[in-house]
Amino acid sequence: MAAGRVVDTIYLARIDPKRYRFEALNDPSGRRGLAEWMAKLHPALVVNGSYYSHTAKPDTPFVSNGTPMGPANYDARSGAFVASEAFAGIKDLSREDWNAAIHGADNAMVSYPLLLANGIPYEGKASEWLANRSFVGQDEAGRIIIGTTTDAYFSLYRLARFLRDAPLGLTYALNLDGGPVACQGVSLNGYERRTIGQWELQFNGQRGKLLRYPWGTFEMPIVLAVFPR
């Protein structure tokens, strides 16, 4: 809420890793948006993942169904989402080397920034770069929380503080790629939901530049998919 009205909404999913599994996937063809991923995978949920290069391949360390991808040499100090049969959650890379953090993972993606680390919000620059946002986090009970905004109210700095104060019990939250790629789809037990990113707003001093993508979909080269066990 701002000035007495709703300015953004976050679509949330709370996931029990004992009942659901996670896959980090990459399609560098550039042909798949949210609808194509949902149709191909038939998942419970798909959300956009971490950052990708101009060739649509992972721009950060990445593991997809046991296959390492992305750069072999990388200076990672924020966080990683890691999933295996024994564990699913966020690793704090300020405390652990990324190689060690994702070692043995079935699926993993390094991303940045870490919006919450043990409940403490991101302390980076209070930027006015506003965009659709997605994040993956975990709560005090070890459940995975995935969220995607419907509009572009949040800078990273603002989102970190909002998640700290929200009644979600989050201990960790890792930012995923933002802007028009910030999309989420849910299909479970007859329930269907879609949100597709459209907005990115960049400020230079007092002047703002609004980028809007009205075409109804956007390529998602990297996704995090969730499936019932």
Q: Which pLDDT tens digit goes with each residue over 44-89?
A: 999 999 999 999 999 999 999 999 999 999 999 999 999 999 999 9
Residue 137 in any domain: the answer is: yes
Residue 217 in any domain: the answer is: yes
Residue 97 in any domain: the answer is: yes
Residue 207 in any domain: the answer is: yes
User: What does pTM read for this prediction?
Assistant: 0.94
Range of the domain at 47: 10-228
Residue 4 in any domain: the answer is: no
Number of domain units in the chain: 1
Residue 23 in any domain: the answer is: yes
- What number of other Cβ atoms are within 10 A of residue 6's Cβ? 10
Q: Which of 48, 153, 169 is nearest to 111 (CA)?
A: 48
In degrees and rounded to multiples of 5, residue 72 shows phi and psi of -80, -30
Strands 170-175 and 20-26, bridge-based pairing: unpaired
* pLDDT one-digit tens code per residue, 173-186: 999 999 999 999 99
Per-residue buried b or exposed e for 58-91, using 16+ beta carbons within 10 Å of the residue's own CB? bbbbbbbeeeebbeeeeebebbbbbbbeeebbbb
The token pair that represents 90 in the structure block: 């966020």
148 beta partners: 11, 134
The Cα 7–Cα 152 span in angstroms is: 9
